[in-house]
Amino acid sequence: MTGAGATAAAVRAGRLSARHVAMRALASIEAAEPAMRAVTGILRDRALADAAAVDAAVAAGRDPGPLAGVPYGVKDLFDVAGLPTTAGSAIYADAQPAAHDAEAVRRMQAAGAVLVATLNMDEFAYGFATINARHGTTRNPHDPERLAGGSSGGSAAVVAARLLPLALGSDTNGSVRVPASLTGVYGLKPTHGALPMAGVFPFAASFDDVGPFAANAADMALVWEVLSDRRGAAGERPLRLARLGGRFRDNADPDQLAAIDALAADTPILTLPDIARARSAAFLITAYEGGTLHRDALAEQAMAFDPAVRDRLIAGALLPRGLYEEALAFRETFHAEVDATIAPYDVLLAPATPCTAPRIDDPWIVIDGKRVPARADLGIHTQPISFAGLPSLAVPLCRAAGALPIGLQLIGRRGGEAELLRAATLWEAQGLIGGAFPVPAIEGVGA
């Protein structure tokens, strides 16, 4: 699959039809599924109709937009007109169809992008694994015996497998950055609240954000411009870098630490305040808000939930409100302290995940020398950044042939996405980051 920018340029110039691009994407997805378990629905009729509209605009001499004819997919919690929004759950399989597209989907369509599929996720976005009781476990394209990460695992997997150049997910505590790291693609969690959440099934509103996936830095910058409706790059002055220390240098892959120290040599190592407490508070707020959201459904049909998700939601629903409010108050203090600490810097570097993708038949990881569930703890390095509300771009490391992917987080000040994208573009051009992985080994993938 050709990149988003190149595809759009060819379609706008009339060298390639949007219909041809859509048909090729649909064929690739159909060949890869159900082996990869990344797709929950193929939107053939919509894709061909949207592609026809793009081709008609080109024929009429109109510019169909910066993503003209670019096929993409969305995590199965975005409203898609005419379809029930299930959030990966059988409970809402027969829900009333959405009357309108989610705002992020509307912006993509207005830019000429062609929606071709809905994508697998952890039920209600509660997990870092994309182990879904209804749709199955999404397999990592680089090793089908391993997890793709979650909860936006289907979105990451289709980009990693080169089935689609772009996909949309959502990130609450790391649900874009974790699967991006484990599958070797770029994944952006923007400043909290920077992108519209209208039409996206919520998990925990305190942290939920729309986040895109792309295979390279240029395509990520392009889709960010479309979603954010922002134009123009960051300034050209040298980027001010720092490394995150403390807990962010614990439980990290040696290649991550080596890359961080090479990219930001001789820069300060910052210790953010109360990181362990921040992660605990993030867990508490997430559990409380998720449990409260699903309280009525749990009371009426608890056994219809994925058991692993149900138990965590019930636990959240039982939390006392006073404890939740205490965590919210701590968050305000934490924000102020973090903002002051990072104010002199444009880009902070930290690991995205503590390790490469765990095996599906052994979904555990080691944190502080102890085995813990991957589904709950792969976000150890992303969750505190969500708690701080900061933008974070997961970028893949260049690794030796045959090595599993793993990524870094480039973290910025609030509203600092342009600096993160500038850093990624520069380092990718220098060969310091970027997946450059071969087409994965699942049969049919990459066709």
- Rounded Cα gap, residues 129 and 327, in angstroms: 26
The whole-model pTM stands at 0.96
- Tokens 């302290």 locate to 337
Token digits for 427?
């380092």
Instruction: Identify the H or E element spanning 144.
Output: strand 143-147
Those residues with Cβ within 8 angstroms of residue 154's Cβ, 6 or more apart along the chain or in another chain: 37, 38, 39, 40, 73, 75, 76, 119, 120, 121, 130, 138, 148, 167
Query: Please, how many CA atoms are within 13 Å of residue 326, restricted to the half-sphere of its CB?
Result: 9
What is the per-residue pLDDT for 233? 55
Residue closest to 226 by CA, chosen among 180, 168, 179:
168
Low-confidence residues in the chain, pLDDT < 50 = 436, 438-447
Question: Strand, coil or helix: what is 408?
Answer: strand
| Angstrom distance (rounded) from CA 75 to CA 85 | 10
Q: Which residues pair with 394 in a beta bridge?
A: 187, 409
Q: For the chain, how far is it from start to end, CA to CA, in angstroms?
A: 8
Q: What angle do CA 80, 308, 284 make, to 5 degrees?
A: 85
Q: What is the largest CA-CA distance in the chain?
A: 63
pLDDT of residue 199: 98
Identify whether 34 is preceded by a cis peptide bond (ω within 30 of 0). Answer: yes
Dist. CA 33–CA 133, nearest whole Å = 17
Q: Which amino acids are annotated catalytic?
A: 75, 151, 175
Is 314 exposed, middle or buried (CB count within 10 Å of its CB: 0-12, 13-18, 19+)?
Answer: middle
CATH number of the structural domain spanning residue 316 = 3.90.1300.10
Contacts of residue 329, Cβ cutoff 8 Å, sequence gap at least 6: none
Tokens of 338: 């973090």
> How many whole angstroms separate alpha carbon 342 and alpha carbon 251?
22
Domain that includes residue 65, residue range: 1-447
| pLDDT tens, position by position, 303-356 | 999 998 999 999 999 999 999 999 999 999 999 999 999 999 999 999 999 999
Alpha helices by DSSP H, listed for 33-171, are 44-59, 103-110, 153-160
Between CA 428 and CA 433, with CA 239 as vertex, the angle to 5 degrees is 15
Under DSSP, the state recorded for 433 is: B
- DSSP assigned state of 63: -
The count of structural domains within the chain is: 1
Q: For residue 266, what are the contacts with CB-CB under 8 A and spacing of at least 6?
A: none
Instruction: Calculate the CA dihedral of residues 264, 268, 269, 270 and round it to 10 degrees.
Output: -120
